[in-house]
Amino acid sequence: MKLYVKSLSMHLKSMLEYKASFIIAFLSQIMVFFSYYFIILSLFDKFDNIKGFTLYEVLLCFSIIQFGYAFCETFARGIDRFDRLIISGDFDRLLLRPKNIFIQVLSSDADFIKISRLIQALIIMIISLINLNISITPLKVITLFLMIISAIVIFFGIFLLAASYCFITIQGLEVRNLFTDGGKHMAQYPIGVFKKGFLLFFTFVIPYAFVNYYPLLYFIGKSNNVLYAFTPLIVFVYLIPCFLAFKLGMKKYQSVGS
Amino acid sequence: MRFYLSYFKLRFITQLQYRKAALAGIATQFFFGLVYIMVYLAFYESSSNNGPMEVGQLVSYLWLNQAFFALIYMYYKDNEIFNMIKNGNIAYELLRPKKIYFMWFSKIIGQRLADVALRFLPVLIVAFILPYPYGLSLPSSFLSLIMFLITLTIGALLMTAIITLYHVLTLSTLNEKGITNIFMALADILSGGVIPIPFFPVFLQKIANVLPFRYICDLPFRLYSGNISVSDGLFQMLIQVIWFIILVLIGNVILKKILKKVVVQGG
């Protein structure tokens, strides 16, 4: 863990060497991701609800998912870009070192420009919380906290799965975007607005629904089922097969040579 | 002209090699299409007031948007060109007795067209088969289909002119990130690629209507479904052509100015 923190600060230092370009890239990220929010804002300019969810409820859902994704892109970029480690053969170098391989992969890269999206998501989250008028109870605070954590965990799990896939082949890796980008896009809305098949798939195959749908229902008072508040915990269970897949992949791993 | 055409063909054929990548692209496009359509339909179903577009027209718009994605997506960076600028190899390029602007132009459009050629048909076929309200409808008339094809082609040229322009600008800024990204994000929104322009707040619609970006995808896709009538379309097609000529001219003038004081990086 110390190693990870240390390498994070190294990555940060190296990025801050070019201050002007860091700041410009930082600002441009905010602009680029504004376009996501733009869709929601324009649609709610024309309509007043989506299957009973109001603007700020959707924005809350949206910002939590964005937060989780941006968090993983910033701090788990080494896993996100695992295919590069394999292609370049740098993974072999990491294997030679007497440290935990997993921490090493994690520390191999970090992208602090994506913090701009973290901040943006946080701001939108706060704005929607203020506008939502929710009677805050301790359990609801816990629910919100669990939702945010599970959003991070689920993207971490998907990144891990994609990384394990790299052990088998690095071809057709764009499919990964379907589950990260595509899933993220979809999970920005409360999953209940989609058709049954989608809801089932994203409950049981990739458990997005436990991140932002069932707990959201409890949080905004659409459901009084206290169990819903703890559904984000299921996402942690999802991490186990993801880790196993990575471990299995590593056992089978043969170097690409050179 | 023949030189640029064969350069274009070369790029087109090279890009056609990436068939497996296209397969993943098709799946992605298809998934995104479905997600967007479900979101819009959910909005339509839960609201009593009607949206600014008819459902059938909207769904067709969204499918065309996915099928021809590579022709309308403004975030395109040709890393070969950027690397050439950064490592100084552009010097070789400048030695050739050909116009660098049109070389880049034919390179970019060749790659984009190949991307589309590999992807659009499967997406369109599946979208046609899907049942109402998820399916793509037939064009509203034969004439609107013809207009759609013409404006889509000119739109692709227009898009390439815009993309070539910011590749040219990189010659003087030497940085393809930052400001270029902001510009691309704005252009992407204003072209109607993120969300159809009729859904914009009114003041933004006015802004979008005077800028060139909407002629890339808003015009052809709405012509297809009859949301813009053929007679209106004819006039707008004229504006589209004028924008294309203006942007190519601007690109050439700027390039000339930059090349006068170009400093080749590295050696």
**B131 contacts chain A (CB < 8 A):** no
Query: How many C-beta atoms surround the C-beta of residue B10 within 10 A?
Result: 13
pLDDT at residue B205, as a whole number: 93
Residue A214, Cα to own-chain centre: how many angstroms? 18
Residue B198 domain flag: yes
Whole-angstrom distance, CA of residue A209 vs CA of residue A199: 7
Residue type at position A53: F
Task: Please tell me which of the candidates B42, B186, B188 has its beta carbon nearest to residue A51.
Answer: B42
pLDDT at residue A256, as a whole number: 63
Which of A84, A68, A80 lies closest to A110, judged by CA?
Answer: A80
How many structural domains is chain B composed of? 1
Cβ proximity of B104 and B167 under 8 Å: yes
Share of chain A above pLDDT 70, in %: 97
Report CB contact under 8 Å: A46, B42. Answer: no
pLDDT at residue B136, as a whole number: 92
Hunting for tokens 């964005």 — which residue is that?
A: A66
DSSP character at residue B49: S
Containing structural domain, residue B186: 2-16+74-115+139-260
Report CB contact under 8 Å: B177, A28. Answer: yes
Which of A85, A80, A87 lies closest to A184, judged by CA?
Answer: A80
Report CB contact under 8 Å: B181, A25. Answer: yes
Residue B106 domain flag: yes
Residue B28 with chain A: CB contacts under 8 Å: 174-175, 177-178, 181-182
Residues linked to residue A105 through DSSP beta bridges, in sequence order:
none
Region for B130 from its dihedrals, namely left if φ exceeds 0, alpha if ψ lies in -120 to 50, beta otherwise: beta
Residue B186 domain flag: yes
Cβ proximity of B97 and B182 under 8 Å: no
**A240 contacts chain B (CB < 8 A):** no
* Closest chain A CA to residue B19: A172
Report CB contact under 8 Å: B178, A25. Answer: yes
* Closest chain A CA to residue B30: A178
Residues 195-214 of A with CB under 8 A from B: 195, 198
| Backbone torsions φ then ψ of A194, nearest 5 degrees | -90, 170
Which of B254, B195, B187 lies closest to B221, judged by CA?
Answer: B195
Residue B196 domain flag: yes
* A-to-B residue pairs, Cβ atoms closer than 8 angstroms: 106
Report CB contact under 8 Å: A43, B195. Answer: yes
Report CB contact under 8 Å: B200, A42. Answer: yes
Report CB contact under 8 Å: B185, A198. Answer: no
Provide the shortest C-alpha distance from residue A215 to chain B (in Å).
20
Whole-angstrom distance, CA of residue A179 vs CA of residue A185: 9
Query: How many C-beta atoms surround the C-beta of residue A9 within 10 A?
Result: 11
Q: Which of A21, A31, A191, A206 to mutate to test the interface with B (most CBs of B within 10 A)?
A: A31
Provide the shortest C-alpha distance from residue B173 to chain A (in Å).
12
pLDDT at residue B176, as a whole number: 63
Cβ proximity of B67 and A68 under 8 Å: no
Torsion of CA A73, A177, B21, B12, to 10 degrees: -70
Report CB contact under 8 Å: B31, A194. Answer: no
Residue B75: enclosing H or E segment and its boundaries? none
Q: Specify the 3-state DSSP secondary structure of A240.
A: helix
**A21 contacts chain B (CB < 8 A):** yes
CB-based contacts of A161: which residues, under 8 Å, 6+ apart? A179, A242, A245
Provide the shortest C-alpha distance from residue A26 to chain B (in Å).
8
Residue B39 domain flag: no
Kindly report each contact of residues B235-242 with a partner whose C-beta sits within 8 Å and lies 24 or more positions away, as own/partner: B236/B151, B237/B147, B237/B150, B237/B151, B237/B154, B239/B215, B240/B151, B240/B154, B240/B155, B240/B158, B240/B215, B241/B154
Cβ proximity of A126 and A151 under 8 Å: no
Residue B23 domain flag: no
Report CB contact under 8 Å: A38, B177. Answer: no
pLDDT at residue B224, as a whole number: 94
What sign for the dihedral angle of Cα B34, B36, B42, B47?
Answer: negative
Going residue by residue through chain A, which has 258 residues, state the pLDDT in tens, using 9 for 90 and above. 788 888 888 888 887 877 777 787 788 777 777 777 888 899 998 898 898 899 999 999 999 999 999 999 888 888 888 888 887 878 888 888 888 888 888 888 888 888 888 999 999 999 999 999 888 889 999 999 999 999 999 999 988 988 888 887 766 666 777 777 788 888 888 888 888 888 888 888 888 889 889 999 999 988 888 899 899 999 999 999 999 998 888 888 877 655
* Closest chain B CA to residue A174: B24
Cβ proximity of A69 and A152 under 8 Å: no
Q: Is A13 exposed, middle or buried (0-12, 13-18, 19+ CB in 10 A)?
A: exposed
pLDDT at residue A171, as a whole number: 65
What sign for the dihedral angle of Cα A187, A192, A198, A204?
Answer: positive
Hunting for tokens 């390039």 — which residue is that?
A: B255
Residue B266 domain flag: no
Residue B25 with chain A: CB contacts under 8 Å: 174
Whole-angstrom distance, CA of residue A128 vs CA of residue A57: 7
Torsion of CA A75, A77, A79, A82, to 10 degrees: -160
Q: Specify the 3-state DSSP secondary structure of A177.
A: helix
Whole-angstrom distance, CA of residue A43 vs CA of residue B46: 12
Which of B82, B104, B142, B99 lies closest to B8, judged by CA?
Answer: B104
Give the CA radius of gyration of chain A: 19
Residues linked to residue A31 through DSSP beta bridges, in sequence order:
none
Residue type at position B203: F
Flag residues of chain B having pLDDT under 70.
174-178, 264-267
**A38 contacts chain B (CB < 8 A):** yes
**A17 contacts chain B (CB < 8 A):** no
Cβ proximity of A58 and A191 under 8 Å: no
Whole-angstrom distance, CA of residue B71 vs CA of residue B193: 10
**A18 contacts chain B (CB < 8 A):** no
Report CB contact under 8 Å: B51, A186. Answer: no
Report CB contact under 8 Å: B43, A43. Answer: yes
Cα dist from A211 to A63, A144, A147, A203, B181, whole Å: 12, 10, 5, 9, 31
Residue B42 with chain A: CB contacts under 8 Å: 50-51, 189, 193-194
